[in-house]
């Protein structure tokens, strides 16, 4: 089940390696508890929700993935708390510190949901049904490459692309039939050609990934250091810095800022969030048919919607957006009360949408 790699000892013959792997699989997994319960970390509402594509479901209520150089499994235990298991980690104390940092445990969801509920009573109902949906704090380089892969893409293809790039890094081990890797450094990524990426099915994104790696290599102090330094910038400066890289648009920049650069007020906006913003009437000026017809999700409108979320939910608006986004996922929407899933648009906007759909059918 689990195979350690990257050791300095001489490699074992294949037969011995297989036996060692089988031995590891037969050993019982010891789960150590984190001081966090389901209301603060709900694994199914955190990992398979589009924040990261490097973690895999490896068992019932169990997810496994890399945290820097460490391979970690997390499980929701029977009492609702979270247990963790480190696979062949040489420094358990360091791994635990890195894991807690990755999980953003210093931020209390209970306090945030209370603030959001006071700002929007409907949010309290959402929080009750989606408690424990947490925003992760990822390494900036891996996060950036993942979200370049996500552009105009579906989860299956994104995951395949991210797995391909990750496989260029150091092998961490195998859990539940999945191979896990430390994310490759810039030098390693620089050796991956556009042709190789296109051959692996990346399409036009291949050019942008290669271009991003080349651009990062030219940044002051090195690409990783430059990306990490954006954590010290204000949101606008971080977004501008990210958008200086070809292939990084407003949504990708906002995702990277929220999920890796500590920009908790960053609000990634796509058509789903755009719909949420209007259904929740965060933008009352767009409720008229004329205004709705004129509005398009341009970079300027992206910023406008983000600012509306901040006005409504404050400096952690990105966390509020994440919960609202999760509420619209097919896996969650059927389980939510009608009030949360069917917040009605004004009649004139609904009529406009219907007429727009009719025009699309005629064109097609």
| Cα 166 from chain centroid (whole Å) | 16
Burial of 244 (0-12, 13-18, 19+ CB in 10 A): exposed
- Give catalytic status of residue 251 as yes or no: yes
Task: Judge contact between 165 and 189, C-beta under 8 A.
Answer: yes
Burial of 335 (0-12, 13-18, 19+ CB in 10 A): exposed
| Cα 293 from chain centroid (whole Å) | 31
Round to whole Å and give the CA distance between 312 and 364: 39
Q: Which helix (H) or strand (E) holds 212?
A: helix 205-217
Residue from 251, 315, 360, 362 carrying the catalytic annotation: 251
Exposure string of 104-140, with b = 16+ CB inside 10 Å and e = fewer, is bbeeebeebbeebbeebeebebbbeebbbbbbbbbbb
User: CA separation (Å) from 50 to 83, 315, 321, 329?
Assistant: 22, 22, 13, 10
> Which active-site residues does the annotation give?
251
């Amino acid at each position: 089940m689990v195979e350690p790699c990257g050791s300095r000892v001489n490699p074992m013959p294949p037969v011995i390696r297989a036996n060692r792997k089988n031995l590891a699989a037969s050993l019982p997994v010891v789960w150590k508890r984190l001081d966090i319960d389901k209301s603060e970390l709900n694994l199914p509402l955190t990992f398979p929700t589009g924040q990261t594509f490097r973690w895999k479901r490896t068992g019932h209520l169990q997810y496994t993935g890399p945290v820097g150089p460490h391979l970690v499994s997390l499980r929701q235990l029977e009492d609702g708390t979270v247990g963790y298991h480190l696979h062949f980690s040489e420094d358990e104390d360091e791994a635990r510190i890195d894991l807690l940092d990755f999980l953003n445990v210093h931020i209390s969801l209970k306090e945030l949901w209370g603030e959001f509920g006071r700002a929007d009573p409907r949010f309290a109902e959402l929080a009750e049904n989606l408690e424990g949906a947490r925003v992760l704090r990822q390494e900036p380089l891996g996060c950036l490459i993942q979200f370049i892969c996500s552009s105009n893409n579906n989860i299956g293809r994104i995951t395949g692309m991210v797995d391909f790039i990750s496989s260029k890094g150091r092998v961490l081990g195998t859990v539940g039939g999945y191979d896990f890797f430390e994310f490759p450094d810039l030098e390693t990524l620089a050796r991956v050609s556009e042709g190789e990426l296109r051959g692996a099915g990346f399409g036009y994104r291949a050019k942008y990934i290669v271009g991003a790696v080349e651009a990062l290599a030219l940044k002051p102090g090195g690409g990783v250091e430059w990306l990490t330094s954006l954590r010290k910038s204000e949101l606008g400066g971080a977004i501008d810095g990210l958008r200086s890289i070809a292939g990084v648009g407003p949504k990708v920049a906002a995702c990277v800022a929220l999920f890796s650069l500590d920009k908790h007020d960053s609000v990634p906006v796509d058509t789903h969030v755009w719909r949420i913003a209007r259904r929740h009437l965060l933008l009352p000026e767009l409720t008229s048919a004329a205004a709705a017809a004129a509005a398009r999700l341009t970079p300027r409108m992206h910023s406008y919607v983000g600012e509306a979320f901040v006005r409504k939910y404050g400096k952690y608006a990105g966390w509020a957006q994440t919960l609202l986004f999760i509420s619209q996922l097919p896996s969650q929407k059927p389980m939510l009360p009608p009030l949360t899933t069917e917040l009605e648009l004004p009649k004139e906007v609904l009529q406009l949408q219907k007429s727009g759909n009719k025009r699309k059918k005629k064109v097609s």
